[in-house]
Amino acid sequence: MPLRVGVNVTAAQLKSGKLAPTVERALRESGLPSHLLCIELTEQHQLDDSAQTVAAMAALRALGVLVAIDDFGTGYSSLGYISRLRPDELKLDKSLVTDVDTNAERAGVVVAALAMARSLKLEVVAEGVEADAERAFLLAHGCDMAQGFLYHPAMPAGEFEQWVATRGA
């Protein structure tokens, strides 16, 4: 799987009318293929489904950029805006993922979120995966991707560039 770049943005940036042109310019200047960029909207920024927001999402999609709802399961979790804004993926917050293999309440929420995402044709990324048992649970229940310290701890940008270069990604 090719390495994707995720960039967090706020609702204000999304609504500014400047995000899609800025993203388009950044893609052109960097040479990054648009399908390898994922704009991550943190739901705590209380997105709305105004015409302005919907238009901004459409402009990003027209560029071929993926859009994710980040930190899903925390803060403002309106299922209505997810169905209307139609992101490409949901990123399950670490607070739902931690101990999902042993915590029945969390497991129920995660399984329900995965089922909802499948019905909406969204990919799901589990954030904060730190244990093999969490990874195994998520895989067994159809989670598409995971990220977290189980795979690699955070690292400075220069070190990351070297890490990517050694893997040919």
Q: Residues near 152 by Cβ (< 8 Å), separated by ≥ 6?
A: 163
- Give domain limits for the chain: 1-72, 93-169
- Tell me if 69 sits within 8 A of 82, measured CB to CB: yes
CA-CA distance, 140 to 48, in Å (whole number)?
33
For the segment 9-32, what is each residue's pLDDT rounded down to a tens digit? 887 888 788 999 999 999 999 999
**Three-class secondary structure assignment of 18-77:** CHHHHHHHHHHHHCCCHHHEEEEEEHHHCCCCCHHHHHHHHHHHHCCCEEEEEEECCCCC
* Interval 148-161 mean pLDDT: 87
Asked if residue 169 has pLDDT above 60, the reply is no
- Tell me if 94 sits within 8 A of 115, measured CB to CB: no
pTM over 0.95: no
Under the banding of pLDDT at 50, 70 and 90, the label for residue 47 is low
- Per the structure block, which two tokens stand in for 146? 């995971």
Q: Is 2 helix (H, G, I), strand (E, B) or coil?
A: coil
DSSP state of 123: E
For the segment 71-124, what is each residue's pLDDT rounded down to a tens digit? 777 665 567 767 777 889 989 989 999 999 999 999 999 999 999 999 999 999
